[in-house]
Amino acid sequence: MPASKSRSGLILMTVAVAALTVSACAGNKPRQRLAYEERPVEALYNTGYQRLQSKRWTDAVDYFQEVERQHPYSEWSRRAILMQVYAYYQNGNYQDAIAAADRFIALFPGNPSAAYAFYMRAVCNFEQIVDVGRDQAYAEAALVGLRDVARRYPGTSYATDARVKIDMVNDQLAGKEMAVGRFYQRANQPLAALNRYKTVIGNEAFQRSSHTPEALYRLVEVNVALGLTEEATRNAAVLGHNFPGSPWYAEAYALLGERGQQPEVKPEGKRESWLQRLIPGGA
C-alpha cells in the first residue's frame, strides 16, 4: 500500500473550527524567522492562519509557535497547537506533526479537540507506511493509534475513518507476512513458509484481507511439496468453500488434480496465465 496522502475532510474538520479569525489582522510580509517582539495574540494567530490559507506551511508554524511562546496560557495557544499539527501534516513533516499532537494530548487530554490530535497522530503514521518489502514499524504504529481512536471516540467520524484505515493497515501487514512466506518458500524453507501463511489464516484481522485466498493456496502448495496430501486437501476445501470463484482455488484444484486428489467443489473461476499472475490484467 503506497503512503499516498489521503487529505480527507476529517483532517480539516477541527482546524476549521479552531481557525477563528478576528478583525485585528497583522501584516502579510513573509518572514523566514520571527524575532521576538511582543504582539497581540489575535495578530499573531490571524497572520498564521493567513499563511495557512496561502499554503505557506513553515511560515504558519512560525506564527503559531509564537502564539504559544508569548501567550502560553491562553485559549489561542491551545488552538495554535492544533494548527501546527495541521501545517506540519500538510508540509509532509509527519514527525513534527506527531510531536505537536502529543503535546496537545499531554496538555489538554480531556479537551474535545483531543480526538483530532489522537486521529492525526495515527494518520501521520499511516501516511508513512512503506511497501511490504521494508520494515512495517509505521504500519504497526498506525494500527495501534487507529485502534485507540476507534476505542476512545466510538460513533464519531474519526472512529469511522479509523476503522476503514485499520482494514487497510491489516491488509498491508498481511501482505508483509505473505512476502516473507514466499521468500522462505523460494529458499526451500517450507516450515518457515507454512508458519507465515498460517499467520495470515489464523489472525482474525488478516482473514478479512485480500491475501487470504493466496495464503490458503500457498498452504496447499507447500503441503503438497512436503507430501502432506490430506492437509493440502483440507486447505483446498476451505479455499473452495470460501472463495470458489478465486483463481487461487482454480490453481489449487488443478494442483491436487495432478496428484489424483481433487476436492469435491469445482472451481467457479479460471486459472490465470503466468503473465496474469505476474502482471494483473496481463494477457
Mind listing the domains of the chain with CATH numbers? 9-125 (1.25.40.10), 173-278 (1.25.40.10)
For position 24, what pLDDT does the model report? 39
CA atoms within 13 A on the CB side of 57: 13
Reported as a single tens digit per residue, the pLDDT across 205-223 is 999 999 999 999 999 999 9
Q: What pLDDT is stored for residue 9 in this prediction?
A: 61
Q: How far apart are CA 13 and CA 253, in angstroms?
A: 51
Measured distance CA(11)–CA(90) in Å, rounded: 10
**204 class by beta-carbon count within 10 Å (0-12 exposed, 13-18 middle, 19+ buried):** exposed
Phi, psi (5° rounding) for residue 188?
60, 45
State pLDDT tens for residues 14-65.
565 555 544 334 444 444 555 556 678 899 999 999 999 999 999 999 999 9
